[in-house]
């Protein structure tokens, strides 16, 4: 429940009260009492559609990101809604990299990952918008995005440096489904031969690309299958959460573009609807299997929230929508998450670098890790 406690950003009420006359005091007291009653009685039933098709319960933590007087965003807050991420912006200054020959980087052995890079080819496309090219997209390119075999940003304005593709779609949450269809059509037309697997992520998703290749190492891209964080409702075989990202096999991509999109009985034609649910329906219609992405210990690998949200027992109440959506049971605490986790969502641009540092740099000295392929 910790996340539902709001941080106190207002001065204590009594300080305001002692500076007011009696009439104003009564008026304000009335307003405060009225709103409090309205909040207490209405809030629990105020359910609205999140952009990912999931009804999100309005909670005290669904407040916009706070920007302090020096312009610092409080990105350490834990986010549960897309609206909370809207105004985040990464650093303007280049964060840079370590030299591969640095004392400790020399000790890193990436031969297996390098071999998988050539064996399991992954195209990543990231859903973004013109206002986020600089604020978010370039920080994905500087971090996890560089590990994809092909990296593309899907937008409505071209930007050759990212590169961002100008899709012929309107921006905004109500057009995400149109954008998803156009993006996969573009990828199918221009990059079908460049990869075996086609991963969609948001501009606030962090992906450990090596772990994606590891999960897919024995899977056949000619089979119609897709993987992600599987949700139960709306689609019989389940569908993949949009925010955690999902990956389509080559055959799944071909069926989606060739068979599903052109057929309005299989796939929603208009631009509206929740992108992930609609994709899930199309996939089921063309018999693309909703795969199981859990590891050998049955721990999850794709996550629609940040690591703390999944790791800390009781972080969200059991009535939080997520718990009734997850297809496979998610254990509490450390057991939730695979050591070969693939994605986390609601990762702001600053946290992209934090994840980078924790995953690829910081090492406990003297503890080796000897990965091997079965
Ligand atoms: C690291 O060392 C190798 C071998 O001496 C050299 O070829 C390479 O350019 C060095 N890399 C960097 C980034 O300095
Ligand atoms: C863009 O989409 C609109 C509406 O669907 C269409 O009329 C127009 O021809 C399209 N433009 C291009 C360049 O494809």
Residue 87 and residue 311 in contact, taking contact as beta carbons nearer than 8 Å = no
Tokens representing 200?
């969609």
- Per-residue pLDDT tens digits for 202-221: 999 999 999 999 999 999 99
Q: Is pLDDT at 286 greater than 60 in this prediction?
A: yes
In percent, how much of the chain has pLDDT > 90?
69
Chain mean pLDDT for the chain: 84
Counting ligands in written order, the one closest to the CA of 106 is 1
Phi, psi for 289 (deg, rounded to 5): -75, 140
Q: Which atom of ligand 1 is nearest to the CA of 101?
A: 1
Give, in degrees to the nearest 5, the angle at Cα 74 between 73 and 79.
115
Give distance in angstroms: CA of 347 to centre of ligand 2: 33
Pocket test for ligand 1, best of 96, 97, 99, 101 (most atoms within 8 A of CB): 101
**Residue 254: how many CB atoms within 10 A of its CB?**
17
- Per-residue pLDDT tens digits for 105-144: 999 999 999 999 999 999 999 999 999 999 999 999 999 9
How far is residue 188's CA from residue 179's CA, in Å, rounded to a whole number? Answer: 14
* pLDDT band at residue 30 under the 50/70/90 scheme: low
Give distance in angstroms: CA of 354 to centre of ligand 1: 26
Per-residue confidence (pLDDT) for residue 206, from 0 to 100: 98
The Cα-based distances of 49 to 174, 247, 356 in angstroms read 12, 24, 32
97 lines ligand 1 (CB under 6 A): no
Q: Is pLDDT at 162 greater than 70 in this prediction?
A: yes
Q: Is pLDDT at 337 greater than 50 in this prediction?
A: yes
How far is residue 185's CA from residue 141's CA, in Å, rounded to a whole number? Answer: 22
Per-residue confidence (pLDDT) for residue 132, from 0 to 100: 96
Residue 202 and residue 345 in contact, taking contact as beta carbons nearer than 8 Å = yes
In this structure, the residue with its CA closest to atom 1 of ligand 1 is 101
21 lines ligand 1 (CB under 6 A): no
Of 232, 329, 332, the C-alpha closest to 276 is 232
* Whole-model pTM over 0.85: no
Residue partners of 283: CB distance under 8 A and separation at least 6: 226, 235, 239, 252, 256, 260, 290
Q: What single DSSP character describes residue 224?
A: -
Per-residue confidence (pLDDT) for residue 22, from 0 to 100: 56
Lowest model confidence (mean pLDDT) among 163-167, 186-190, 370-374: 370-374
* pLDDT band at residue 24 under the 50/70/90 scheme: low
99 lines ligand 1 (CB under 6 A): yes
């Amino acid at each position: 429940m910790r996340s539902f406690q709001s941080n106190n950003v207002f001065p204590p009420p009594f300080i305001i009260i002692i500076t007011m006359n009696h009439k104003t005091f009564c008026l304000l007291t009335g307003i405060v009492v009225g709103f409090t009653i309205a909040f207490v009685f209405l809030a629990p039933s105020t359910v609205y559609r999140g952009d990912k098709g999931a009804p999100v319960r309005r909670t005290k933590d669904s407040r916009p990101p706070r920007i302090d007087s020096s312009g610092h965003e409080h990105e350490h807050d834990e986010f549960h809604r897309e609206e909370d991420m809207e105004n985040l912006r990464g650093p303007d200054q280049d964060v840079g990299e370590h030299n591969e020959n640095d004392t400790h980087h020399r000790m890193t052995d990436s031969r297996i990952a390098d071999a998988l890079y050539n064996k399991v080819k992954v195209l990543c496309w990231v859903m973004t918008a013109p206002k986020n090219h600089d604020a978010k997209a370039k920080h994905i390119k500087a971090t996890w995005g560089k590990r994809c075999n092909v990296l593309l940003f899907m937008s409505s304005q071209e930007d050759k440096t990212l590169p961002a593709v100008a899709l012929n779609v309107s921006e905004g949450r109500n057009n995400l489904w149109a954008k998803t269809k156009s993006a996969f059509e573009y990828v199918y037309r221009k990059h079908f031969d460049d990869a075996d697997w086609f991963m969609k992520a948001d501009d606030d998703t962090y992906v450990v690309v090596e772990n994606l290749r590891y999960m897919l190492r024995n899977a056949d891209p000619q089979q119609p299958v897709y993987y992600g964080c599987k949700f139960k409702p709306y689609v019989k075989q389940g569908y993949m959460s949009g925010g955690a990202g999902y990956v389509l096999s080559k055959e799944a991509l071909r069926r989606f573009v060739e068979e599903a999109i052109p057929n309005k009985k299989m796939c929603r034609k208009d631009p509206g609807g929740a992108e992930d649910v609609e994709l899930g329906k199309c996939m089921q219609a063309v018999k693309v299997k909703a795969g199981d992405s859990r590891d050998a210990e049955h721990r999850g690998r794709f996550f629609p929230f940040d690591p703390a949200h999944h790791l800390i027992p009781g972080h969200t109440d059991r009535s939080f929508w997520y718990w009734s959506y997850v297809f496979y049971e998610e254990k509490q605490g450390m057991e939730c998450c695979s050591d070969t986790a693939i994605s986390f969502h609601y990762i702001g641009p600053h946290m992209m670098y934090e994840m980078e540092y924790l995953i690829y740099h910081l090492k406990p000295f003297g503890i080796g890790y000897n990965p091997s392929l079965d």
